[in-house]
């Protein structure tokens, strides 16, 4: 379906956080999805993913994850210098600040008129996959999709060590994990640690493996794999549809 797009201003701890919002054009009420970018924030490759998801019938809200450090509207270029810049911003952001941002966006989604307030999910890519799991620790999250999530197995996220792996049992909804088997950032032992934690804590989960590299769904990079990306999209949208009905 067609969508509409806009930017919303949120204040979190007196910091201006841009929220990119994509909404199905037909009037109605839809499930709401907290959408997390990778370290490059909300450039075209990421907003195209958000727009595509919205077209399946979801209100998608994507925050700028480094709003405390970068001016509003900043898009970090996906090159060598951008990688340094994005990773440094990730390192300098407190884990508690990431959690505060999640609560702010979830609160916004629940009061948005186009959202069914008890049908909330989250999705993320790379660091955003990790942040999606952090968001799933909040109450009321029914569906979580994590695409090649970095740092869950190692505790690497921001300042300090993230306890995400140890808190998996707090997740109440369903989880879909999407991994590339050629991804050096989430190697096999890391994948196994994540899946084992989900299994041990009884979290309902599904794991998808593709013979692909890191960020294989990002359509502007050398690791983009259209076939794997299309296959993942089919599974992800089916997952959301199954959970939300």
Q: Which of 126, 130, 147, 153 is catalytic?
A: 126
Separation in Å, CA 181 to CA 68, 212, 237, 244: 34, 6, 21, 29
Tens of pLDDT along 15-25? 999 999 999 99
What value does the mean pLDDT of the chain take? 97
Annotation says 205 is catalytic: no
How far apart, in Å, are the Cα atoms of 118 and each of 36, 107, 110, 217? 20, 11, 8, 29
Question: Which domains can be identified in the chain, with CATH numbers?
Answer: 3-244 (3.40.50.1820)
Annotation marks residue 80 as catalytic? no
- Quick one: pLDDT band at residue 39, thresholds 50, 70, 90? very high
Q: Round to whole Å and give the CA distance between 217 and 1.
A: 21
Instruction: Determine the Cα–Cα distance for residues 100 and 17; give it in Å rounded to an integer.
Output: 12
Question: Whole-structure pTM over 0.95, yes or no?
Answer: yes
C-alpha–C-alpha distance, residues 127 and 27, integer Å: 33
HEC string for the chain: CCEEEEEEEEEECCEEEEEEEEEECCCCCEEEEEEECCCCCCCHHHHHHHHHHHCCCCEEEEECCCCCCCCCCCCCCCCHHHHHHHHHHHHHCEHHHHHHHHHHHHHHHHHCCCEEEEEEEEEEECHHHHHHHHHHCCCCEEEEEEECCCCCCCCCCCECCCCCHHHHHHCCCEEEEEEECCCCCCCHHHHHHHHHHHHHCCCCEEEEEECCCCCCCCCCCCCCCHHHHHHHHHHHHHHHHHHHC
Told to judge if 126 belongs to the known catalytic residues of this protein, a careful annotator would answer yes
Q: What is the pLDDT of residues 65-90, one digit of tens each?
A: 999 999 999 999 999 999 999 999 99
The string of pLDDT tens digits covering residues 201-224 is 999 999 999 999 999 999 999 999
Select which of 97, 183, 205, 225 is catalytic. 183
130, 153, 205, 214: the catalytic one is 214
């Amino acid at each position: 379906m067609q969508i509409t797009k806009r930017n919303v201003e949120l204040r979190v701890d007196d910091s201006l956080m841009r929220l990119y919002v994509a909404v199905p054009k037909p009037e109605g009420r839809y499930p709401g999805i907290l959408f997390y970018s990778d370290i490059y924030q909300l450039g075209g490759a990421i907003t195209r993913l958000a727009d595509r998801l919205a077209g399946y019938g979801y209100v998608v809200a994507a925050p700028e994850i480094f709003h405390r450090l970068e001016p509003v509207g900043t898009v970090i270029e996906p090159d060598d210098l951008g990688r340094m810049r994005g990773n440094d911003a990730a390192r300098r952001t407190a884990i508690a600040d990431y959690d505060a941002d999640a609560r702010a966006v979830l609160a916004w989604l629940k009061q948005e008129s186009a959202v069914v307030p008890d049908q909330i999910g989250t999705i993320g890519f790379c660091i955003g996959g990790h942040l999606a799991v952090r968001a799933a620790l909040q109450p009321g999250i029914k569906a979580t999709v994590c695409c090649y999530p970095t740092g869950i197995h190692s505790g690497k996220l921001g300042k300090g060590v993230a306890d995400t792996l140890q808190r998996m049992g707090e997740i109440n909804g369903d989880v879909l994990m999407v991994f590339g088997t050629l991804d050096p950032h989430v190697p096999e032992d890391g994948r196994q640690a994540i899946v084992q934690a989900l299994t041990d804590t009884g979290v309902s989960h599904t794991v998808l493996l593709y013979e692909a590299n890191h960020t294989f769904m990002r359509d502007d990079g050398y690791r983009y794999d259209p076939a794997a990306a299309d296959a993942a999209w089919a599974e992800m949208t089916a997952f959301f549809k199954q959970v939300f009905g």
